[in-house]
């Protein structure tokens, strides 16, 4: 079984420092995040942070484009020389988490903008790549299959900046047959 384990990326420490030092100077922060992307276009956490900032500043379309760029880079990074994806990208390896988050953010973004088939394709891929689904991709997939929008999902299950896991799990158990059928196709 081939599994992907990314390398430790030096820009990860730079990103933490820049986010802390420049949090009150948004134009400089945006500029420096773009420079970090140039320095290491495969450290995807930078894209995620830049996208969040752009969205918060009202640049919605640009934020979406940045997330989709991160998805492209994730696919480039994960595909081997043979052009095939690995069988797994374990969450347990912290060096993989930026990739997993980038794919998840892309799936959610596609869902938010109404590109449902593409969102499902991306989220299904992520579900199959990450053993044990520690990030709960199954919930997003089922919500889409049930016809929920992302905002409705957040309003229904959101709690204190996270999710109400108990109600989410109960809901999933009641409707999981639809999810199971979808991921097995």
Give the C-alpha distances (Å, rounded to integers) separating 147 from 16, 105, 110, 119.
Answer: 37, 19, 14, 13
β-bridge mates for residue 162, sequence order: 159
Question: For 144-163, how does the pLDDT look when each residue is reduced to its tens digit (9 = 90+)?
Answer: 999 999 999 999 999 988 99
Tokens of 5: 């384990």
Question: For 39-64, how does the pLDDT look when each residue is reduced to its tens digit (9 = 90+)?
Answer: 999 999 999 999 999 999 999 999 99
pTM of this prediction?
0.95
Taking residues 122-144, what's their average pLDDT?
97
In whole numbers, what is the pLDDT of the chain averaged over residues?
A: 96
Q: All domains of the chain, ordered by start, with CATH?
A: 1-115 (1.25.40.10), 136-185 (no CATH)
pLDDT value of position 81: 83
Taking residues 121-138, what's their average pLDDT?
97
pLDDT value of position 1: 54
Cα pseudo-dihedral 114, 37, 35, 23, rounded to 10: 60
């Amino acid at each position: 079984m081939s599994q992907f384990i990314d390398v430790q990326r030096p820009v990860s420490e730079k990103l933490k420092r820049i986010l802390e030092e420049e949090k009150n100077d948004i134009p400089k922060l945006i500029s420096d995040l773009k420079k970090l992307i140039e320095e290491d276009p495969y450290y995807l956490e930078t894209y995620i942070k830049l996208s969040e900032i752009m969205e918060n500043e009202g640049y919605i379309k640009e934020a979406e484009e940045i997330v989709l760029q991160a998805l492209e880079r994730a696919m480039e990074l994960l595909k081997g020389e043979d052009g095939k994806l690995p069988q797994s990208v374990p969450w347990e390896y912290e060096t993989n988490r930026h990739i997993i988050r980038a794919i998840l953010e892309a799936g959610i973004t596609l869902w938010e903008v109404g590109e449902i088939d593409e969102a499902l394709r991306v989220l299904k891929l992520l579900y199959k790549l990450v053993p044990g689904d520690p990030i709960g991709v199954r919930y997003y997939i089922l919500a889409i299959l049930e016809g929920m929008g992302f905002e409705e999902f957040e309003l229904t299950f959101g709690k204190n900046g996270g999710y109400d896991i108990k109600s989410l799990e109960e809901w999933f158990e009641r409707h999981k047959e639809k999810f199971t059928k979808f991921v097995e196709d």
